[in-house]
A and B are shown apart, each in its own frame.
Chain A
């Protein structure tokens, strides 16, 4: 196992609650309460999705280990924020998992629906674009039209950040 110090630094810098992640003592409360761990892991916890394992590997800078594994290791998380709540060390685990997901996207990995949503937002400024049938339904229901967002401004913002290059 090789420690990637650059990766480790990124992890440390990303967490809004500063360096709290250092204080993880592997109690496993996160994994014990994670709904995805529950439905993907065998009795010994050797397979499936495991937030405790992700925190350990991130903390040790084992980038290779995380990214050479099945994508489930990163994308299994359903972002229910339960782990954030039960962690006795107040680590916001999902912040770290967000960074891991962002890195996975940079490698061109990640589930289809994430890419299609990002593309829809880039093209329409909405994850779900407006469609004529729904516009009619809104009218029937006595609703005003949705206020049209400024797509150009959003595209400028995303292009300047460089997010358009990550789209598929």
Chain B
């Protein structure tokens, strides 16, 4: 098995580390090996890229250099980090002028971007090891209804994310189905959670989020399953604001894909810190006998 450089990202590493705990448990059970590297922020494709594309390229390329130096591919736990690192790689590989300019800057800190490694999203790694995921399930989540939200940057732009169908993604559904849970379809599956616009214009962000949440609510889902920390935060922390604003009770708990799989692989909710979620899932856990 090849060893990856784990790119946990700022949000998971420094804000919601319980997701890293769950991810490491799942990787252990599936046999995915990782090691650490002193990566900086990826940086954020909705933040730093909008601030200054050149800085975004340079910081991203520097992170790629760290993995290149070890000759190892990167495994990302986050849609945003995967999107940045793949996007930087795409721009530098297809625009020789940009590559030259960025390498001039990197040379001043003793580095050079070569483009020799690959960046993989953890969903793709799990999808490629579906039989091993299946083999590690010991406590199928029978009866749990799950609405999946793959997010935007996992599969778009398809030209360089090369992960899944950009408008009809299937991978997350397939992996969740292995857990024994029931995937419920809902109309707005590919709709953005609106994290970025909510930061800039809360009113518009929440109007978009309402469309998303109403659709999930109508599906009768017990939980929402995500594979991006920004989406996780949007669902976990902003449902209450949304409920208040529109006088509706949403209260649908959110599980990271690796948290959902951890539970199905017999890991206890305590071991992976499920209690740190804002949206409570007591009744859902009871339903599962956990």
Query: Do the two shown chains form a genuine complex with each other?
Result: yes
What residues make up the interface of A, taking CB atoms closer than 8 Å to B?
16, 35-36, 38-40, 49, 72, 75-82, 84-86, 92, 94, 98-99, 101-102, 105, 110-111, 113-115, 117-118, 121, 125-131, 134, 137-138, 140-144, 146-150, 153-154, 156-158, 160-161, 163, 166
Contacts A98-B50, A150-B40 given; does A76 touch B8 at CB 8 Å: no
Contacts A16-B94, A161-B54 given; does A117 touch B47 at CB 8 Å: yes
Which B residue sits closest to A151, measured CB to CB?
Answer: B40
B8 touches A121 (CB 8 A): no
B55 touches A98 (CB 8 A): no
- 27 sampled A-B residue pairs with Cβ under 8 A: A16-B91, A36-B197, A39-B207, A39-B208, A76-B200, A77-B197, A78-B197, A94-B157, A98-B50, A101-B51, A111-B200, A114-B50, A114-B51, A114-B200, A117-B51, A118-B48, A141-B18, A141-B272, A147-B36, A149-B40, A154-B59, A157-B108, A157-B109, A160-B105, A161-B52, A161-B55, A166-B52
Please indicate which of the listed interface residues A72, A115, A137, A166 has the most CB atoms of chain B within 10 Å of its own CB. A137
Binding stretch for chain A, among B171-179, B187-195, B237-245, B248-256: B187-195
| In the complex, the 6 A-B pairs of residues with the closest C-beta atoms, listed nearest first | A80-B192, A78-B197, A81-B156, A39-B207, A101-B50, A125-B40
* Assembled-state Cα–Cα distance A141/B38 (Å): 20
Binding stretch for chain A, among B9-17, B114-122, B134-142, B277-285: B9-17
- The 0/1 profile, CB within 8 Å of A marked 1, for residues 58-71 of chain B is 11001000000000
In the complex, which residues of chain B have a beta carbon less than 8 angstroms from the beta carbon of A80?
Answer: 152, 156, 192
B196 touches A78 (CB 8 A): yes
B38 touches A149 (CB 8 A): yes
CB distance from A84 to the nearest CB of B (A): 4
Contacts A118-B48, A128-B14, A134-B17 given; does A35 touch B62 at CB 8 Å: no
A157 touches B62 (CB 8 A): yes
Contacts A147-B36, A160-B105 given; does A78 touch B195 at CB 8 Å: yes
In the complex, which residues of chain A have a beta carbon less than 8 angstroms from the beta carbon of B95?
Answer: 16
B192 touches A85 (CB 8 A): no
Partner of A163, one of B54, B156, B197: B54
Which A residue sits closest to B110, measured CB to CB?
Answer: A153
Interface residue tally for chain B (C-beta within 8 Å): 68
* Assembled-state Cα–Cα distance A49/B52 (Å): 22
* Assembled-state Cα–Cα distance A36/B204 (Å): 7
B108 touches A102 (CB 8 A): no
In the complex, which residues of chain B have a beta carbon less than 8 angstroms from the beta carbon of A75?
Answer: 200-201
Which B residue sits closest to A81, measured CB to CB?
Answer: B156
A76-B197, A79-B46, A163-B55 known, 14 other contacts, Cβ within 8 Å: A40-B204, A81-B152, A82-B190, A105-B51, A114-B51, A117-B51, A118-B51, A121-B48, A125-B41, A127-B41, A127-B48, A143-B21, A158-B58, A161-B58
* Assembled-state Cα–Cα distance A125/B9 (Å): 11
A141 touches B157 (CB 8 A): no
* Assembled-state Cα–Cα distance A35/B188 (Å): 11
B10 touches A126 (CB 8 A): yes
In the complex, which residues of chain B have a beta carbon less than 8 angstroms from the beta carbon of A130?
Answer: 13-14
A134 touches B15 (CB 8 A): yes
Which B residue sits closest to A152, measured CB to CB?
Answer: B109
B17 touches A82 (CB 8 A): no
* Assembled-state Cα–Cα distance A86/B159 (Å): 12
Partner of B14, one of A110, A118, A131, A154: A131
B86 lies within 8 A of chain A by Cβ: no
In the complex, which residues of chain A have a beta carbon less than 8 angstroms from the beta carbon of B112?
Answer: none
* Assembled-state Cα–Cα distance A79/B195 (Å): 9
B62 touches A153 (CB 8 A): yes
Residues 199-240 (chain B) with a chain A CB within 8 angstroms: 199-201, 204-205, 207-208, 211
* Assembled-state Cα–Cα distance A80/B228 (Å): 13
